[in-house]
Structure 1
Amino acid sequence: MSMPQKMRRNHQMKGTSGCRRWVRPQGSLELKQGEIHLWRADLDRHMDSLPVLEQTLDAGEREKAGEFHSEADRNRFILARAILRTILAKYLNTQPGQLTFCYGPQGKPELAGGSVRFNVSHSDGLALYAISGVHDVGVDVERVRPGVEEDVAGWLFPLRAIRFLEALPQPARRHAFFQGWARMEAYQKARGEGLALSFENFETFLHQRDLVLFGPREDLGEAAQWWLHGFFPRRGYVAALAARGHKCRLRYWRWHASN
């Protein structure tokens, strides 16, 4: 087997978990010890709920929505934030509009009081939410798009990461890029750092197996504090979850306006 073939095979074995079955929850929701709940929302399918859901947003969220020039992007942002409120309200037994958020130095939202940890990401019409009782979490979703890996890798990534990607044939190269990007973003979001980490460590995220304890070079002292999970939330998308602490049981929920 040639080296590119071997790398492609190994990457597929180590990479993102296959498509999961996302189900609508029945009855009340409970975050049990050792669990993290992942939610998927198909934003474009719920545009008819926009007028009602928009009423749950606070003044800051409405102001942020007004900054979008594209109506489609603005509406997706509104839905993504309003759905976050409806999800959190289910766990806290309150009304979505009653929730109060505070924000970290890099803009990561948190619930005032910190009773539930969460993170949210959306790409085009797909939104993902990670909910935890005790773990710091970060989630990222990316729609796989052709040509992006060539445009970005050449001017952002170190040579070793570029060589790793170039050794993979398409479409494995494209998926490896987006999987690595989602993992890196999820990890940084879990730490509340935005894109603060150096791209010099990007190859760390390209090589990681699924559900392992890990840490980039500058965090070797904290390596045992973090684990990472990659998955396919929907055809054409890749995603990743990062969490502080030990491996947790994951539950996969599908949001619907009638929930």
Structure 2
Amino acid sequence: MDTAALRPGHAAVVPWPKTLSAPADGALDLWLLHVPDPWLAGAVLDTSPLDERERTRAASFVHAVDRAKYVASHLMLRRLLGAYLDRPAGEVAFVREPCPCCGAPHGRPALAGDGPHFSLSHGGNLVLVGVAAAPVGVDTEQLPAAHTVGQVATALHPDEQREVMSAPAVRRAAVFTRLWVRKEAYLKGLGTGLGRSPALDYLGNGGPGTPAWPAGWTIVDVPVGAGHAAAAVRGPIGSRYDVARLDPQELAA
């Protein structure tokens, strides 16, 4: 992986797009949505674009805020992909690719028919969508409590574990979360998810004696502000990537 040549686009709030050009080879479009709990608690969201599976999943959430967060993230994904495909959000159809680990149809989500590759993540109060001409993975997470860091860090590559545990206590959660979102984004890009052990690949900060990052992938540490971390990975990326923030108010019914 190589991050040296990447220049992030300005993460300004932009209008929700009605039409979008397909990402060019080497380009990466990143879309951010901030959905604070007070807004989610009072939001009335139009679920009509969602398909039956999405509505069933939304209804399964016990807490209203969690349900609204799921609905908001999937409405965001559908509206963006609809803009790329030039079709209504409700007409965007999804399939599952074969799992690289076992071949079963529970691998990376994909569009039915032609269209760009995409990845969706929601963590804490952020939703992140990545769209590219080649397979892409994104992940965003809220910084966890200290005891969670100690428990989950043991799943990382041994050199990543050392980086986390050698960090000052006050920074340990931030270091862990930065490495974790890179790892989850990479596994999504592969299409395996956590079906592939997070301990197998090194995506740490480098240094003497550390392994190389996986060949053929590029990592992007996405700027999302305090309290969260986010990352995106895909194949070779050109000289820039774009990050755009969307206004959640436009999701309201």
TM-score normalised by the chain length of structure 2: 0.79
Q: Give the superposition deviation at 1:112.
A: 0.6
Partner of 1:250: 241
Q: Give the superposition deviation at 1:55.
A: 1.1
Name the structure where helix makes up a greater proportion of residues. Answer: 1
Cα 1:206–1:125, aligned 2, differ >3 Å: closer, same or farther?
same
- 1:201 partner SS: coil
- 1:249 partner SS: coil
Cα 1:93–1:238, aligned 2, differ >3 Å: closer, same or farther?
same
- CA offsets 1:85-131 (integer angstroms, 9 cap, x no match): 11111122111001111113335321111311111000122100001
Task: For 1:122-161, list aligned pairs within 5 A.
Answer: 122-132=122-132, 134-147=133-146, 148-154=148-154, 156-157=155-156, 159-161=158-160
- 1:152 partner SS: helix
Partner of 1:24: 14
| Contact map agreement 1:19 1:231 (CA 8 A) in 2 | no
Q: Could you list the runs of 5+ residues in structure 1 that have no partner in the other structure?
A: 1-13, 216-222
1:109 aligned onto 2:109:
yes
Q: Could you list the runs of 5+ residues in structure 2 that have no partner in the other structure?
A: 98-104
CA distance in 2, matches of 1:124, 1:173: 18
1:205 aligned onto 2:211:
no
Give the total of aligned pairs: 230
CA distance in 2, matches of 1:200, 1:258: 40
Partner of 2:164: 165
Cα-Cα RMSD = 2.9
Amino acid across the alignment from 1:51 = L
Q: State the percentage of identical aligned residues.
A: 26
- CA offsets 1:29-77 (integer angstroms, 9 cap, x no match): 324523211001123446665432x111011111111222222111111
Larger deviation: 39-48 or 78-87? Answer: 39-48
Larger deviation: 225-234 or 137-146? Answer: 225-234
| Contact map agreement 2:11 2:243 (CA 8 A) in 1 | yes
- 2:193 partner SS: coil
CA distance in 2, matches of 1:87, 1:55: 16
- 1:186 partner SS: helix
| Contact map agreement 1:140 1:241 (CA 8 A) in 2 | yes
Q: Give the superposition deviation at 1:152.
A: 1.8
Partner of 1:176: 175
TM-score normalised by the chain length of structure 1: 0.78
Cα 1:50–1:120, aligned 2, differ >3 Å: closer, same or farther?
farther
1:35 aligned onto 2:33:
no
Q: Give the superposition deviation at 1:168.
A: 1.4
Partner of 1:234: 225
Partner of 1:220: none
